[in-house]
């Protein structure tokens, strides 16, 4: 168990460091867009969803608060199926459900799904949830204080997040059916990305689940 | 107006997060549907990773980022340690940008 915990913390470290840096960049960008300090802090702590936060700052600065809410909620709708998938991992009792739901980001969900069901998965979710929440919010405060942060793209951090997610999904992707659904879903999302508002292409990936109702047709093919 | 925007965004997002967690207990799902839920989550996260790797603001993100993610993905498939995957992806992208690859 000790080793499992140490491995988890070691794996969390680069993602937490990247979230600290991108959080700092969010804080700096939001301040540059003349969003008040309290609002920047509120976005990172109460909304706590990176992509929606960057989009919201852009649209608020452009004077379209209504569009900011709509776009942000479309982007974040994917959290509902995350809760369906790992709801029992988040917790059985009310306080755990209420707090854990707020910590349920893409990365925390991926860290949970990378572990076998049960106590190990629960520990991974909560450790990732708490550590990443702190990293993101401390990063935001640093960005607000400095008023400027190094561009995360210079250090390739925009590649770190997708690569980290894929690595966490890898145990699940070794299952052939899951892989087929994931590859097809990713294809649908990429192809529709230029055509649809942000967030919707990701949700459309769920269409690929249709593959699961054709298992007989697939079994007939030789492997 | 600003406070209303943030409250609406935060409450709406929290509602999505909590709804999934609560619905899991309430819905009488068959074993078969229950088994597809992790597959759905993996598909969503994979779609998120691949679109984040390839696109930026609805357009092609350039070559540096997908190249880094590809290096990371291959390393992950070959069971490299997680830290190595993340650092190699970021390092590849950063190095390509140093060489002025878009």
Summarised one tens digit per residue, pLDDT across range A82-105 is 999 999 999 999 999 999 999 999
Q: Are strands B59-60 and B55-56 parallel, antiparallel or unpaired?
A: antiparallel
B58 in Cβ contact with A193 (< 8 Å)? yes
Q: Within its chain, how far is the Cα of A143 from the centroid?
A: 20
Of A68, A113, A209, the CB nearest to B5: A68
**Confidence band, pLDDT 50/70/90 cuts, at residue A1:** low
Q: How far is A182 from chain B (nearest CA, A)?
A: 4
Cβ–Cβ < 8 Å for A190, B55: yes
Q: Burial letters for B2-23: b for 16+ Cβ neighbours within 10 Å, e otherwise?
A: eeebbebbbebbbebbbbbbbe
The answer to whether residue B30 neighbours chain A at the CB level (below 8 Å) is no
Hey, is A120 helix, strand or coil?
A: helix
ipTM above 0.90, yes or no: yes
Contacts A–B by Cβ distance under 8 A? 293
Backbone angles phi, psi at B83, to 5 degrees: -60, -40
- As a whole number, the mean pLDDT across chain A is 93
3-state secondary structure A78-102: CHHHHHHHHHHHHCCCHHHHHHHHH
- Report which of residues A3 and A122 the model is more confident about: A122
What is the percentage of chain A residues whose pLDDT exceeds 90? Answer: 87
Nearest residue on chain A to B100, judged by CA atoms? Answer: A154
**A36-68 pLDDT, tens per residue?**
999 999 999 999 999 999 999 999 999 999 999
DSSP of B36-97, one letter per residue?
HHHHHHHHHHHHHHHHHHHEETTEE--SHHHHHHHHHHHHHHTT--HHHHHHHHHHHHHHHH
Residue B68 Cα, gap to closest chain A Cα (Å): 6
| Structure token pair of residue B44 | 């969503």
pLDDT at residue A171, rounded to an integer? 94
Cα angle: A93, vertex A113, A162; to 5 degrees:
125
Pick the residue from chain B with its C-alpha nearest to A38.
Answer: B3
Burial of A41 per CB tally in 10 Å (0-12, 13-18, 19+): middle
Q: What pLDDT was estimated at residue A5? A: 86
Nearest-angstrom CA–CA distance, A150 and B90? 15
Residue B42, min C-alpha distance to chain A (Å): 7
CA distance A19 to chain B (A): 13
Supply the pLDDT for residue A2: 75
pLDDT in tens, B70-90: 999 999 999 999 999 999 999
Decide if B12 touches A, using CB distance below 8 A.
yes
Is the Cβ pair A172, B38 closer than 8 Å? Answer: yes
| Lowest-confidence pick of A59-68, A129-138, B23-32 | B23-32
């Amino acid at each position: 168990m000790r080793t499992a915990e140490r491995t988890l913390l070691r794996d969390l470290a680069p993602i937490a460091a990247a979230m600290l840096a991108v959080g700092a960049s969010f804080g700096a960008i939001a301040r540059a867009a003349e969003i008040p300090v309290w609002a920047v802090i509120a976005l990172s702590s109460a909304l706590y969803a990176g992509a929606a936060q960057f989009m919201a700052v852009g649209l608020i600065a452009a004077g379209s608060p209504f569009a900011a809410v709509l776009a942000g909620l479309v982007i974040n709708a994917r959290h509902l199926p995350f809760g369906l998938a790992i709801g029992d991992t988040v917790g059985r009792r009310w306080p755990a459900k209420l707090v854990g739901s707020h910590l349920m980001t893409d990365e925390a969900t991926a860290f949970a799904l990378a572990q076998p069901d049960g106590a190990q998965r629960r520990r991974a979710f909560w450790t990732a949830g708490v550590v990443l929440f702190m990293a993101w919010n401390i990063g935001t405060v640093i960005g607000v204080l400095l008023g400027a942060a190094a561009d995360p793209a210079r250090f390739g951090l925009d590649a770190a997040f997708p690569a980290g997610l894929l690595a966490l999904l890898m145990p699940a992707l070794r299952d052939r059916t899951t892989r087929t659904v994931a590859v097809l879903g990713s294809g649908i999302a990429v192809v529709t990305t230029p055509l649809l508002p942000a967030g919707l292409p990701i949700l459309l990936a769920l269409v690929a689940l249709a593959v699961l109702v054709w298992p007989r047709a697939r079994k007939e093919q030789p492997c | 107006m600003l406070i209303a925007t943030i409250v609406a965004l935060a409450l709406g997002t929290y509602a999505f997060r909590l709804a999934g967690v609560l619905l899991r207990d309430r819905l009488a799902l068959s074993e078969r549907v229950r088994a597809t839920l992790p597959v759905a989550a993996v598909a969503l996260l994979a779609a998120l990773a691949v679109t984040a790797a390839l696109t930026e603001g609805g357009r092609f993100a350039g070559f540096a980022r997908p190249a880094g993610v590809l290096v990371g993905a291959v390393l992950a498939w070959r069971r490299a340690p997680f830290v190595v995957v993340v650092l190699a992806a970021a390092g590849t992208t950063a190095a390509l940008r140093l060489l002025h690859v878009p």
